[in-house]
Structure 1
Amino acid sequence: MKLLSYSFADDFRHDLLAGISVAAVALPVAIAYAQLAGFDPVVGLYSSILPMVAYAIFGTSRQMIVNPDAAVCAMVAAAVAPLAGGNVELYWSLSVAVTFLAGMFCIAASFLRLGALAEFLSKPILVGLLNGVAISICLGQVGKLFGFSIESKRIIPQLLEIVAKLPQTQIPTLIVGAASLAILFGLARWVPRLPTAPIILIAGGTAVALFGLDRHGVAILGPVPGGLPPLRVPRFPTDDIPSLLGSAAGLALVLFSSGMLTARSFASKGGYEIDADRELAAFGAANLASALSQGFTVTGADSRTAMAVAAGGRTQVTGLVAAATITAVLLFLTGPMRYVPIAVLGALLVFASISLFDTRTLREIWSIDRSEVILAVITTLGVVALGAINGILIAVGLALIRFVKLTARPRDEILGTVDGIPGLHSIARHPNAKTFPGLVLYRFDGPLTFFNSDYFKTRALAAADAAGPELRWFVIDAIPVSQIDTTGLYALRDLRERLEARGTSLMLAGRKAEFLTWFREAGLYRPEHETWILPTLRQALKAYLRAAQPIAPLSQDDL
């Protein structure tokens, strides 16, 4: 983050209010996630201070908040619990150690420039994953609003459990939750500049303190110990290092995948770019900072990032303000926190999750390519039905499948001329396009490599067969062929031999210098290559018309 160029006059007021709002949500959420992972509640706060500072310094996202995450907390617990054997202190130490090692893996990966893996994630998949996270967050808070716990982790069991437990609804809790939601939506609509999160938390805590709502069954956070964590390097038995290394590597992969999806989703909505390799380093620094402050693994936090955006945060100063606010609370205000109702927290997270759900972009994608919407929906359903971690794996898998499909089976076209439109165009998209007897102008929209060379030959020969026995020249537009390997060069040579056997000449148009270099590097260069590689499609068409019998005069538009 470029702190030296920060505009206090334009941005600080927005970042200040957003940072306080983020802290208001992050405080109780961090406590809840610490309990989920099996720690004392205060450990969640330890995990929320220095990581935000580290990410603000090294990260490239303007809006993302790095904080504890439910899915990552569950992974930490699953990795460490068998090694700790019920020893609370060892459990904590191992958790800190695995966080430290995960941070080191992220930093090492950034030096290897492995952040490019994130480029496989397309816009529809990003939108689908964010929508799935929004639904999951919303469903996870229903029990808090109604005053009962939800044990199920999947959408259908969750819905069935919610319906079954409706008779157990705690009416005072429901009133608090519904009132909180009404106030949140009312403030957002009528007074959008107000920091809604701290207002509603303070109002809820005040109501509990004044009217004793906790005595009527309204659940509250309860006591939270104060004080800052000691900074120290984690200690753990050396015998556990092999197990911790494997767990840390997997954890690093998940936290980076999850965090990058969050970062890229919000960057896309915010209209700016992020650097994946620097993000890897930033996630690593954030987890090292968490480990040194006796915290556990952190990643990009969807709900807190959504709160930052909804509250008007503009830069990573929002994260610094949130970290400073949590520090102040740890030092001076842990007492009043005990009165915050759980239902108010649930209402805040429901409110934040609604801002995550993006239907506008889905409609835009639908107007461009309906099959891409299917990718988004599958990703959403994967997150909702199988959980965030499995949803991320599904998203990555879909991205890889999509990449392989686009690269291994690229679009190919037969080109012709269209009256009134200069240049050469696909005859499939222009039914009135004119082709020339004895000539095929063929375009293959992709690199020519080992995984699509057979497909290329099959499609090219099919186009030649369709042209009939009178075919004299088969011209390949080489401009879209951005790369070719040895297998691709052999495929090209085989295609030429097959065509020559039937009396057809194979010609290339474009990238003459590059193709000659590729042939030389592969040891396949022949002097005749100089004559059958022409500079452009236009020159190839002119050369054919000069060599062939007069067919029809070319207009200026044809060329």
Structure 2
Amino acid sequence: MQDFFTLSRWVPGLVALLDYRRDWLTADMRAGVSVAAVALPVAIAYAELAGVSAVVGLYSCILPMIAYALFGTSRQLIVGPDAATCAVIAAVVTPLAAGDATRHWQLVMTMTAMTGLWCLAASYFRLGVLADFLSRPILLGLLNGVAITIMVGQLSRIVGFTFDESQLIERLVATPDYLALVHWPTLGISMLTLVIMLLCRRYRPLWPSSLLALAVVAGLLWYVGPERLSIAVVGSLSEGLPEFQLPEFPPGLMRDLVLPALNLAMVSFVSMMLTARSFAARNGYDIDADREFRALGVANLASAISQGFAISGADSRTAVNDANGGKSQMVSIVAAGAIALVTFFLTEPLQYIPTAALGVVLVMASWSLINLRGQWHLRKSDMPAFWLAWITFISVLFMGVIPGITLAVLLGLFQFLRNVMRPTDQLMGMNEEGVVHTLGRNEEVKAIAGVLIYRFNSPLTYFNAAYFKRRVLALIGEEKAQPNCLIIDAVSCFTHQDISVMSVVGELHKELKRRGIHMVMAGRRSQMTHWLQQAGIRVGEEGVLVYPDLYEALRMTRCYHTPVVTTEVADVVRGEA
């Protein structure tokens, strides 16, 4: 039993496969082949985006898919190359490689390995809570900015010229000057690819539109000859397993990859968890964020070992899996097997795929990431979230992908600190049935004469304790008649012992006592008594009164000498109800 528990903790996917049901096999085989059909062209296109050979995109699918199938907790999630991760890799590695293709590839592998190590470290320290660190509005702005950056970057490949500028805004400004350089045969191949994909999605939505489009244009170029039309193609690809390469660049370059790899790990994990959680909820099960962090780390290390690049959860391929009725992690293994078959034995036909067609595939994939309408609609529901999303979006467009992601992470941190340092708070009252509720939301809830019940909606710590004290004194000062008693809901804010907090509580108690106001703590009776005594604050008649909950505090505190709102409430407070 202990061995089984250990196995399920470290390789939950393997445990699920050991308990595999035979009646799932047909659906999983169908879903696996469908996923492979979608993943093949996308992986080749993303390899071009990352600046490495097309076959590297295939390497980045096989072992990572198998690794996630063994270590992941999601039954539907498919991992693989992702637009955002490839855009980040290209933005970091390209200037460091300085045009050296071998160094570029080695830097890509090194950054991928670092990303995996960051994920494993986060899993070890149980940092799966970081899945909620980048809020949805920030991630929405980030993905919209990355998608538009990719689309503009692929414009030159689609029409047959090369941008000299490296940043988005400069490219947009210079675009009119490049129109005379349009290569019409390349543009024609791009338009043919686009038309086939759109027709396929319109009339045969279950077919792999990108694979079909690439097959048609590759067949056309094979028949005509790409050299006759001067159209750039993928070119010959090596078959079989890649030869392992040790990095040959100066170790100092690795220092330049540490922080970008951390950013990449963060963004990849948050994006993956959004996809994994949505499909887990749809299929009625839960996933473990800490083990998902480990699975992502192992998958990235597997990609680095197989000389691939960083991967993440792929929402489009996960949707294909779910739409085809995939039941388990077996889908990933079947898809990996199908991609391996092509990689090791069928790479020759891939050499005729035009790079312009890959640009169209990337544009279509990026188009599916764009949700500017959802970003704009945030203004109706959450104005701070609206501004966070648009600041992130504009930063990615104007500053670039890496600075934009760094800013997104900082915005997430600042948003968290703001919520903790300046949280919401409420005054509480009672309704006629004697139930404590927040004041102001319901006219039936009334304040209790002479009593102020206060709730601070954040854990108290050293950087918000002074604000807590100011809020309490400010609310007391706003009362028309000074209360006889202040009851603080200790459950919501006293979550851990903090000497700075206890010091502020002592100061607050002295100030309230000077004004003739009793200070009462409601909730966490044993802990609060122990913490107060350790801080040298008297507990009891001459000090802070501590009770198990709000209702006990209202019944037992001796400071109620004024009538309450109604007879029913008075009965409850006196314990006569």
Q: TM-score, normalised by structure 2?
A: 0.82
> 194-203 vs 104-113, which deviates more?
104-113
Letter paired with 2:483: L
Tell me, yes or no, if the aligned pair for 1:109 and 1:115 is still in contact at 8 Å: yes
Q: Report the 3-state secondary structure (helix = DSSP H, G, I; strand = E; otherwise coil) of the residue aligned with 1:416.
A: strand
Post-superposition offset of 1:527: 4.4
Q: Report whether the alignment pairs 1:270 with 2:297.
A: no
Q: Report whether the alignment pairs 1:536 with 2:545.
A: no
Specify which of 265, 271, 274 is matched with residue 256 of structure 1: 265
> 245-254 vs 176-185, which deviates more?
245-254
CA RMSD of aligned residues (A): 3.5
Post-superposition offset of 1:473: 1.3
Distance 1:320 1:114, change over 3 A: same
Note the residue ranges of structure 1 that are not aligned, 5 or more in a row: none
Q: Which residue of structure 2 aligns with residue 510 of structure 1?
A: 523
Write the distance in 2 (CA, Å) between the matches of 1:422 and 1:197. 64
Q: Report the 3-state secondary structure (helix = DSSP H, G, I; strand = E; otherwise coil) of the residue aligned with 2:123.
A: helix
Post-superposition offset of 1:544: 6.3
Post-superposition offset of 1:166: 2.9
Specify which of 33, 36, 39 is matched with residue 22 of structure 1: 39
Write the distance in 2 (CA, Å) between the matches of 1:558 and 1:340. 82
Q: Which residue of structure 1 aligns with residue 194 of structure 2?
A: 181
Distance 1:298 1:515, change over 3 A: same
Q: Which residue of structure 2 aligns with residue 70 of structure 1?
A: 87
Tell me, yes or no, if the aligned pair for 1:417 and 1:434 is still in contact at 8 Å: yes
> 61-70 vs 198-207, which deviates more?
61-70
Write the distance in 2 (CA, Å) between the matches of 1:63 and 1:251. 25
> 458-467 vs 361-370, which deviates more?
361-370
1:197-212 correspondence to structure 2 within 5 Å: 197-212=210-225
Specify which of 419, 423, 441 is matched with residue 406 of structure 1: 419
Q: Report whether the alignment pairs 1:457 with 2:474.
A: no
Q: Report the 3-state secondary structure (helix = DSSP H, G, I; strand = E; otherwise coil) of the residue aligned with 1:141.
A: helix
Distance 1:202 1:482, change over 3 A: farther
Q: Which residue of structure 1 aligns with residue 485 of structure 2?
A: 473
Write the distance in 2 (CA, Å) between the matches of 1:220 and 1:423. 73
Q: Report whether the alignment pairs 1:353 with 2:362.
A: no
Q: Which residue of structure 2 aligns with residue 426 of structure 1?
A: 438
Letter paired with 1:309: A
Letter paired with 2:71: F
Q: Which residue of structure 2 aligns with residue 134 of structure 1?
A: 147
Tell me, yes or no, if the aligned pair for 1:143 and 1:162 is still in contact at 8 Å: no
CA deviation profile, 1:109-148 (whole Å, cap 9, x unmatched): 4323344444322222233323333323333322233232
Letter paired with 1:53: I
CA deviation profile, 1:66-120 (whole Å, cap 9, x unmatched): 33723224434555x48xxx98767766765565455445434432334444432
Write the distance in 1 (CA, Å) between the matches of 2:209 and 2:118. 38
Q: Report the 3-state secondary structure (helix = DSSP H, G, I; strand = E; otherwise coil) of the residue aligned with 2:487.
A: strand
Post-superposition offset of 1:536: 3.0
Letter paired with 1:25: V
Q: Which residue of structure 2 aligns with residue 306 of structure 1?
A: 316
Write the distance in 1 (CA, Å) between the matches of 2:542 and 2:28. 61
Q: Report the 3-state secondary structure (helix = DSSP H, G, I; strand = E; otherwise coil) of the residue aligned with 2:567.
A: coil
Post-superposition offset of 1:499: 1.0
Tell me, yes or no, if the aligned pair for 1:98 and 1:247 is still in contact at 8 Å: no
Letter paired with 1:23: L
1:217-366 correspondence to structure 2 within 5 Å: 217-230=230-243, 232=244, 234=246, 240-241=250-251, 243=252, 246-247=255-256, 249-272=258-281, 274-293=287-306, 295-300=307-312, 305-309=315-319, 312=323, 314=326, 317=330, 319-358=332-371, 362=375, 366=379
Tell me, yes or no, if the aligned pair for 1:124 and 1:375 is still in contact at 8 Å: yes
CA deviation profile, 1:171-229 (whole Å, cap 9, x unmatched): 33333323322332332233211121211111111222234465334432222233321
Write the distance in 1 (CA, Å) between the matches of 2:209 and 2:39. 10
Distance 1:281 1:8, change over 3 A: same
Distance 1:414 1:94, change over 3 A: closer
Post-superposition offset of 1:409: 0.8
Q: Which residue of structure 2 aligns with residue 3 of structure 1?
A: 17
Write the distance in 2 (CA, Å) between the matches of 1:292 and 1:551. 72
Post-superposition offset of 1:350: 2.0
Write the distance in 1 (CA, Å) between the matches of 2:197 and 2:259. 38
Q: Which residue of structure 1 aligns with residue 6 of structure 2?
A: none
CA deviation profile, 1:475-506 (whole Å, cap 9, x unmatched): 22223124142221221221111011111111
Distance 1:401 1:88, change over 3 A: closer
CA deviation profile, 1:452-488 (whole Å, cap 9, x unmatched): 1100110000111112454211222223124142221
Distance 1:529 1:23, change over 3 A: farther
Write the distance in 1 (CA, Å) between the matches of 2:107 and 2:156. 32
Q: Report the 3-state secondary structure (helix = DSSP H, G, I; strand = E; otherwise coil) of the residue aligned with 2:368.
A: helix
Letter paired with 1:446: S
Q: Report the 3-state secondary structure (helix = DSSP H, G, I; strand = E; otherwise coil) of the residue aligned with 1:162.
A: helix
Write the distance in 1 (CA, Å) between the matches of 2:302 and 2:550. 58
Q: Report whether the alignment pairs 1:440 with 2:449.
A: no
Post-superposition offset of 1:44: 4.8
Q: Report the 3-state secondary structure (helix = DSSP H, G, I; strand = E; otherwise coil) of the residue aligned with 1:480.
A: helix
Letter paired with 2:462: F
Tell me, yes or no, if the aligned pair for 2:116 and 2:296 is still in contact at 8 Å: yes
Tell me, yes or no, if the aligned pair for 2:88 and 2:401 is still in contact at 8 Å: yes
Write the distance in 2 (CA, Å) between the matches of 1:385 and 1:538. 56
Q: Report the 3-state secondary structure (helix = DSSP H, G, I; strand = E; otherwise coil) of the residue aligned with 2:491.
A: coil
Distance 1:66 1:254, change over 3 A: farther
Q: Report whether the alignment pairs 1:13 with 2:25.
A: no
Write the distance in 1 (CA, Å) between the matches of 2:329 and 2:369. 19
Q: Which residue of structure 1 aligns with residue 408 of structure 2?
A: 395
Write the distance in 2 (CA, Å) between the matches of 1:218 and 1:54. 38
Write the distance in 2 (CA, Å) between the matches of 1:98 and 1:18. 26
Tell me, yes or no, if the aligned pair for 1:424 and 1:558 is still in contact at 8 Å: no
Distance 1:105 1:480, change over 3 A: closer
Write the distance in 1 (CA, Å) between the matches of 2:435 and 2:387. 35
Q: Report whether the alignment pairs 1:163 with 2:173.
A: no
Tell me, yes or no, if the aligned pair for 2:111 and 2:261 is still in contact at 8 Å: no
Q: Report the 3-state secondary structure (helix = DSSP H, G, I; strand = E; otherwise coil) of the residue aligned with 1:376.
A: helix
Tell me, yes or no, if the aligned pair for 1:103 and 1:284 is still in contact at 8 Å: yes
Matched residues, number: 543
Write the distance in 1 (CA, Å) between the matches of 2:140 and 2:381. 15
Distance 1:529 1:198, change over 3 A: farther
> 481-490 vs 399-408, which deviates more?
481-490
Write the distance in 2 (CA, Å) between the matches of 1:556 and 1:175. 80
Identity %: 33
Tell me, yes or no, if the aligned pair for 1:106 and 1:252 is still in contact at 8 Å: no
Write the distance in 1 (CA, Å) between the matches of 2:368 and 2:569. 54
Tell me, yes or no, if the aligned pair for 1:258 and 1:299 is still in contact at 8 Å: no
Q: Which residue of structure 1 aligns with residue 70 of structure 2?
A: 57
